């Protein structure tokens, strides 16, 4: 009888250890980040924080198992390429990316089953067609704006129902203008800006910082020209967020302008990687 009780007891203790010890995946479960400045200005970097992953061990009936002295390092990956290895649980990244991953490497041998991931891909509108205000057809839209998801849509500036949706428009002289520049009265109170960029659309991965010497309320359009856009979004109670996008003039045919646009949905971040 005593032997039976001992065997059953051993089984129960073993079962408790199995149940009480979570699977060791070395995954980083808790992580968060914030947009920070780079050497050029606001919105050029990402400060990432995370908690150490579970690396083994449990405590059942006061008995500990596992080890607390494991060597844990973290591999930072940008768009599939390893860029750094660190021991701290915080990292500032200044390399523009669509996808940032953090892997835990334990005792130089065991890797996370899956990484912590931060998705920063732009929302691209490959063909956005608007017409200048000089176009004679009233059904041709001259303005465009971004949805909350980042899609660019064209709007008729003559229709007051669309006024709050418009971020930019093309005036009669083929100049891209912020919605606040519309005459005889501003379309809305948004403080949107435009910068002419010295880069190709594909190579432009981070737009200029939003400072007055880089941005204006208007910019002359040229076929093949590349532009940075700063878009203001109201949060309520006179507080705002700012988003960035890049735009290329694919073609100009008299009053018709064809844009390609990529919008970064992470507030304040100037990264606009598309390739």
Q: Which domains does the chain have, with CATH numbers?
A: 21-119 (2.60.40.10), 123-264 (no CATH)
Distance of CA 47 to the CA centre of its chain: 13
Provide the token pair at 259. 């844009």
Distance of CA 198 to the CA centre of its chain: 22
Helix (H, G, I), strand (E, B) or coil at 12: helix
Contact of 96 with 207, CB cutoff 8 Å: no
Show the 3-state SS of 185-253.
CCCCCCCCEEEEECCCCCCCCECCCCCCCCCECEEECCCCCEEEEEEEEEEECCEEEEEEEEEEEEEEE
User: Using alpha carbons only, what angle is made at residue 189 by residues 238 and 245, rounded to the nearest 5 degrees?
Assistant: 95
State yes or no: pLDDT of 212 exceeds 80: yes
Task: Tell me what the mean pLDDT of segment 78-93 comes to.
Answer: 96
Distance of alpha carbon 25 from alpha carbon 116, whole angstroms:
12
Average pLDDT value for the chain: 88
Distance of alpha carbon 145 from alpha carbon 162, whole angstroms:
10
Task: Tell me what the mean pLDDT of segment 83-112 comes to.
Answer: 93
pLDDT, one tens digit per residue, over 128-173 is 999 999 999 999 999 999 999 999 999 999 999 999 999 999 999 9
> Of 49, 51, 56, 48, whose CA–CA distance to 107 is shortest?
56
State yes or no: pLDDT of 65 exceeds 80: no
pLDDT, one tens digit per residue, over 180-192 is 999 999 999 999 9
Distance of alpha carbon 167 from alpha carbon 190, whole angstroms:
7
Percentage of residues of the chain with pLDDT beyond 70: 86
Res 117: pLDDT: 97
> Of 266, 275, 251, 273, whose CA–CA distance to 46 is shortest?
266
Task: Tell me what the mean pLDDT of segment 25-35 comes to.
Answer: 92
Provide the token pair at 162. 């669309």
Determine how β-strand 256-264 pairs with β-strand 218-220. unpaired
- Look at 213 and 195; give whichever has higher pLDDT: 195
pLDDT band at 234 (very low <50, low <70, confident <90, very high): confident
DSSP 149: T
pLDDT band at 55 (very low <50, low <70, confident <90, very high): confident
pLDDT band at 24 (very low <50, low <70, confident <90, very high): confident
Q: Which helix (H) or strand (E) holds 18?
A: helix 2-20
Helix (H, G, I), strand (E, B) or coil at 16: helix
Res 23: pLDDT: 60
């Amino acid at each position: 009888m005593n032997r039976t009780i001992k065997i059953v007891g051993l089984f129960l203790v073993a079962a408790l250890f199995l149940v009480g010890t979570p699977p060791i995946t070395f995954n980083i479960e808790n992580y968060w980040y914030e947009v920070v400045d780079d050497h050029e200005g606001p919105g050029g970097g990402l400060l990432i924080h995370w908690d150490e992953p579970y690396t083994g061990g449990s405590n059942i009936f006061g008995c500990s198992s596992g080890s607390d002295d494991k060597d844990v390092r973290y591999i930072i990956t940008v768009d599939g390429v390893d860029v750094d290895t660190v021991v701290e649980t915080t990292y500032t990244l200044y390399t523009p990316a669509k996808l940032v991953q953090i892997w835990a490497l334990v005792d130089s041998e065991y890797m996370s089953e899956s990484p912590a991931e931060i998705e920063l891909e732009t929302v691209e509108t490959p063909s956005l067609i608007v017409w200048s205000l000089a176009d004679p057809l009233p059904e041709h839209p001259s303005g465009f704006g971004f949805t909350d998801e980042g899609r660019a849509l064209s709007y008729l500036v003559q229709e007051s129902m669309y006024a709050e949706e418009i971020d930019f428009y093309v005036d009669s002289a083929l100049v891209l203008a912020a919605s606040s520049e519309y005459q005889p009265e501003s379309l809305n109170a948004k403080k949107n800006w435009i910068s002419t960029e010295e880069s190709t659309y594909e190579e432009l991965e981070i737009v200029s910082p939003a400072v007055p010497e880089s941005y204006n309320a208007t910019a002359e359009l040229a076929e093949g020209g590349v532009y940075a856009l700063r878009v203001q979004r109201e949060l309520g109670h006179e507080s705002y967020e700012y988003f960035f996008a890049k735009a290329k003039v694919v073609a100009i045919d008299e009053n018709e302008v064809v844009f390609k646009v990529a919008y970064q949905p992470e507030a304040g971040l100037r990264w606009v990687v598309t390739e």
